[in-house]
Chains A and B, each alone.
Chain A
Amino acid sequence: MIEAGIYGLMAEYDTVPGLVAAAEQAHEQGYRRMDTYSPFPIEPAAEAIGFHKNRVALVVLLGGLLGGMGGYSLEYWVSVLAYPINVGGKPWHSWPAFIPVTFECTVLGAAISAFIGMLAMNGLPMPYHPVFNAPNFTAASKDKLFLCIEAADPQFDLTKTRQFLERTNPRIVTEVSN
């Protein structure tokens, strides 16, 4: 059930175990569309909300393969088709000489696709995000920890979700407007 104008419910915690326990409970309750916010990385929290795998690795692999094939093809086109030059009597298709460029292009392709893939999958750049509407959210960059259950979650219910979050001993639970 999606409430108009509501992005989700935000609970604020003081301690890492408090946040991790709340996130674990929320995952147990069946909530999936949620996220945690903290001033430093908390790996157990990522595990608690069921974040296991992403597809950046696959993008990097494809980017690397594409870069490598691109590099080799470029060398082949230049040295064999477009502008063949006799270097030291070696054949035009001298593959050993193409390897360094192929290797570098593989690394370049992989690095660029890692950078762009990471940004794209995080939905960045993102000039506006509703969580910043939550009061006191700037403390997520200083000393407070947050768990936000989003209204887009199929189980989301303004009253019931609020009751659930309040049972997890937060400092405060607030509504986040869109």
Chain B
Amino acid sequence: METHAKRLPAELNAPAWLLDRYQSRALIVGGLFTILLIIGAVITPHGYDHFLSAYLAGYVLWVGASLGCMALLMVNHLSAGKWGLIIRRVLESGAAQFPLMLILFIPIAIGMSHLFPWIPGSVRWMQQNSDAHTIMQHKEMLLNKTFFLIRVPIYFFIWWAFSTTLRRWSIERDRNPHGRDWQRILENLSGIGIVVYAITMTFAIVDWIMSLDAIWFSTIYGLIYLAGQGLTAFSICIITVLLLSQEEPMRTMLRKTEMHDIGKLLFAFVMLYAYLSFSQWLIIWSANMPDEANWYLHRLAGNWINLGRFLILFEFAVPFALLLSRRLKKQPAFMVPLCAFIIFVRMVDLYWMVEPNFISTERQITFNWMYIAAPLAIGGFWIFSFIRDLKSRPVLVAYDPQMEELLEPEHATA
């Protein structure tokens, strides 16, 4: 009936020169801050301890970016939707960073006795009272050094296996669209994968972050990170796609309609994150049990409360109010800075999650430049490797039943 005004561009790889700029900058940032961190960890007073907690928060931010990308990729295979078609290859590149993140776990493995209180004889073990020691002994089956270290490669192997299979099939599908029943096998793998992701990710977060306080527990904790990873991953995707859309092939394929859809999903994750975080607070506040409330007491004491207020304002209220606007969601000049800001707030949030665990006596906010430097160093390497992967593959899928629809004219937006 109607002829398409647009055609699928012949070249589906993004121009290398466009990505090269950002890639080299990312490597410089990563390298520079790594050197600074090493110097800081060695020569400043208590530098090693500050370095480790900063590194842990930054590490969880970026491993969360990869996990979020993998989860959204699976969601897109299960739910379909043209929004996912536009960002699918970006998600696949984000989900390809697990081998890098496994290597970057090494500093945490080396410094773990400075971080976790459940390691008998460690400095933080000594700070706990005898009641805490009893509780930690009951948890020893899960929280002991050997099993903790064995679990790390298991998590990464599972995540890598799912993401690498989805990535390989995605490329094979473009080469041989009718070779297999791609839709069905991608859906089946994603269906299993999304469940496995939620469980393994929760375990990993319990290991790496929740066990920093060996007594406290919260059953919603994994879900809070799930929502946070969605926020980080969407922010990265939006920034990447908008940068790519300066040139072909993304310039032809990115429509306002899909930009609007992805903006709406980001908005949904802003709300989900606030909803889950508030649920945890409401339950613990209502029960008011000493074991649980302590976690919040650390975060309400001294200046920490102001950081909490900052998070309520800038991780929820402000992005929520801004993203209500239909016009702003379609505005690249607005979305890129907003998404960059959301990644920054995620970094602050993780600092807020990690750092109050370490100051049992003073309960005062402690700031060290390494808390900024560590996420930047890890992020530099993550982005470098992410862009390298992005350059090596087409940034758009060539074959998908819905790809035709992306070439149709824009809808009137009533």
Contacts and interface: CB of A to CB of B under 8 A. Distances in A.
Contacts of A90: 288
Interface in B316-333: 324, 326
A61 interface: yes
Interface string B258-296: 000000000000000000001001100110100000000
B412 A88 contact: no
Contacts, number: 34
A61 B324 contact: yes
Interface residues of B, number: 15
B278 A51 contact: no
B414 interface: yes
A16 B1 CA distance: 8
Contact of A47 (B281, B286, B412): B412
Contacts of B281: 96
Interface string A81-121: 00000001010000011011000000000000000000000
Contact of B412 (A17, A51, A96): A51
A54 B411 CA distance: 15
B1 A43 contact: no
Interface-centre pick from B285, B409, B411, B412 (highest chain A CB count, 10 A): B412
A172 B164 CA distance: 60
A54 B414 CA distance: 7
B324 A100 contact: no
A57 interface: yes
Contact of A43 (B278, B324, B411): B411
A96 B285 CA distance: 8
Category for how many chain A residues contact B:
10 to 19
Contacts of A54: 414
B131 interface: no
A109 to B, nearest CB: 15
A66 B413 CA distance: 26
B2 A16 contact: yes
B414 A15 contact: no
A48 to B, nearest CB: 8
B261 to A, nearest CB: 15
Contact of A17 (B2, B324, B326): B2
Nearest to A48: B412
A142 B285 CA distance: 59
Nearest to B3: A17
A172 B1 CA distance: 22
B282 A99 contact: yes
Interface of B: 1-2, 278, 281-282, 285-286, 288, 324, 326, 409, 411-414
Interface of A: 15-17, 43-44, 46-47, 51-54, 57, 61, 88, 90, 96-97, 99-100
17 contacts: A43-B412, A44-B409, A46-B412, A47-B412, A51-B412, A51-B414, A52-B412, A52-B414, A53-B414, A54-B414, A57-B326, A88-B286, A90-B288, A96-B278, A96-B285, A97-B282, A100-B282
